[in-house]
Amino acid sequence: MRLYYGYNEFRQDVVDLAKMVEANFKPQAIVSILRGGMTLAHFLGLYWDMKEVYAINASSYSTDRKQGELHIENIPQLKPAHKEILVVDEIVDSGRSFLGVMEILKQRYPDAHFKSAVLFAHKGAHFQADYTLKEATSWIDFFWEVDTQGDYIA
């Protein structure tokens, strides 16, 4: 089974996730795990009026949606003044990408405090985000992935 995740639901979820985060964490910057986390990072940046939005590439999926070797590149140059950093992605599948990204960021920036936030997480993942909005129970087709492909283009 596949679930379509549309813009209207996403828009409300951004607000809900932002409120969940800001209840006990005040990020000074956001790091998006590309590509899936970029839309979330962009909207959180707008919600918080925060221009300090960075990106890091992490991928273990091939074009056939099977997980392979984890590749992490383009590690951002965070400003020394940014001590509270929120790392975001749209979903935690196995958790391998998030684990790898968090490890690299903590090694590179040992004085910073990192927290993680996702819209969805699978129950059996090896990584538990600090903030998770919903449990993923099936494959999710995010609007930013499918609405720009083939028959979905208006």
- Is 18 inside a domain boundary? yes
In this structure, what token pair is assigned to residue 6?
A: 């549309």
Distance CA 121, CA 104 (A): 21
CA distance 58 to 32: 10
Query: Measured between alpha carbons, how far is 67 from 105 in angstroms, rounded to an integer?
Result: 22
Which structural domain, as residue segments, surrounds residue 138? 3-60+67-146
Mean pLDDT value across residues 80-96: 95
- Where does 2-147 have alpha helices with state H? 7-22, 38-47, 96-108, 143-146
Residue 53 belongs to a domain with what CATH number? 3.40.50.2020
Write out the two tokens for 43: 């909207």
pLDDT at 125 (0 to 100): 92
Q: What pTM does this model have?
A: 0.89
pLDDT of the residue at 147: 84
User: In this structure, what token pair is assigned to residue 118?
Assistant: 């996702």
Residue 153 scores a pLDDT above 60: no
pLDDT digits (tens, 9 = 90+) for 16-34: 999 999 999 999 999 999 9
